[in-house]
Amino acid sequence: MWHRYNDTGFTTVVYESPDLDWEKGLRYFNQTELERLQTVKEGYTSILKRNDAACLLGDGWTVDVIAHIFSFLVESE
DSSP class of residue 65 equals H
Q: Encode pLDDT of 28-62 as tens digits.
A: 889 999 899 888 899 999 999 998 888 888 777 78
- Nearest-angstrom CA–CA distance, 31 and 52: 10
Residues with Cβ within 8 Å of 42's Cβ and at least 6 positions away in sequence, in order, are 32, 35, 36
Q: What's the pLDDT score for residue 60?
A: 75
Q: What pLDDT does 18 receive?
A: 77
